[in-house]
Structure 1
């Protein structure tokens, strides 16, 4: 398996939008997602494509910040692997990459959010050693 995690540049955002749309179940237009990702690229955010034999099969991002309760931290975000490539060990290899990459950037911890209804991801993250520390609240302004 020739697996690679390659950084996505701002000009390549349109390539990942179909995967983000599947993850988000088409909640937002491509225009809104393009606008939001373009802004994200100006912040402490990095985006990567997941490539198998040079074919884009997934996407994920990482936020970098310092938290008073966790120190320097990496937050994996919007992790999506195409359904036909799941259960092949790619997620495990992905998180090995994330831990190594974040460690090289001086991170002490990793934290993430997962949708309440995404039970398969909960099991995966618990097996990765993540612990549930709280709830994520959202309010539209």
Structure 2
């Protein structure tokens, strides 16, 4: 979580994935920075802290999935060193 003057202005949620196919990695489930505070490096700080934390538990990769229409997010992640691997469709089944 990122805070300025005791106000939460950003957060990141990550979980560890253990996959038979690709091994152990960390996946970002959400990263949000308040619009008023964007462009100040807070998102990158959250990414760096997350990367350090993931490395410390044995993850060798950090993954994030973005909706295809979120072009600003795509730019942010690419400018932060992420490489586009694929585009995909997501299917849900109600239980």
Q: Could you say whether these structures have the same fold, taking a TM-score greater than 0.5 normalized by the shorter chain as the test?
A: yes
- Residues 73 and 110 in structure 1, CA contact (< 8 A), matched pair in contact too: yes
| Cα shift at 1:135 | 2.2
- Give 1 or 2: higher helix fraction: 1
Matched, 1:80 2:32: yes
- Residues 29 and 64 in structure 2, CA contact (< 8 A), matched pair in contact too: yes
**1:96 matched residue in structure 2:** 48
Structure 1's unaligned 5+ residue stretches are 1-48
- Residues 70 and 108 in structure 1, CA contact (< 8 A), matched pair in contact too: no
- Aligned-residue Cα RMSD (Å) equals 1.5
TM-score normalised over the length of structure 1: 0.60
Distance in 1 between residues matched to 2:2 and 2:67, nearest whole Å: 21
Structure 2's unaligned 5+ residue stretches are none
TM-score normalised over the length of structure 2: 0.85
- Residues 61 and 79 in structure 1, CA contact (< 8 A), matched pair in contact too: yes
The structure whose RCO (Cα within 8 Å, separation 6+) is larger is: 2
